[in-house]
Structure 1
């Protein structure tokens, strides 16, 4: 997945902020947009750690790094 595709997906999450949409890579991460905190939340499923990202660029870079690591394995 390219960084532009990731940004497009994140922008769609913002458009549907009144709905609870969760993208999951089983056993690895969950991604959602929180309307209340106005941030993207990436939850690492291995340890349950939640990382907030407050803009599309930061979130897309973090997700791209995660996906690139998975792709290499």
Structure 2
């Protein structure tokens, strides 16, 4: 199980459980943390996809195996 699967499972089982705290301050529940993480993953995936297409069009190489 990778960390994203673990986070999704924790969010499904206990979405209102505290996930991120700093001292006594609650910054996010597991449901909120999973939603934010999914949003960041989508953004990064979309951004990197456009970088790959641009690099392909100009015959650039960003990094091996990309």
Report which of the two has the higher share of helix. Answer: 2
Q: TM-score, normalised by structure 1?
A: 0.34
Report which of the two has the higher share of strand. Answer: 1
- Which of 1 and 2 has higher RCO (CA within 8 Å, sep 6+)? 1
Q: TM-score, normalised by structure 2?
A: 0.37
* Largest Rg, 1 or 2: 2
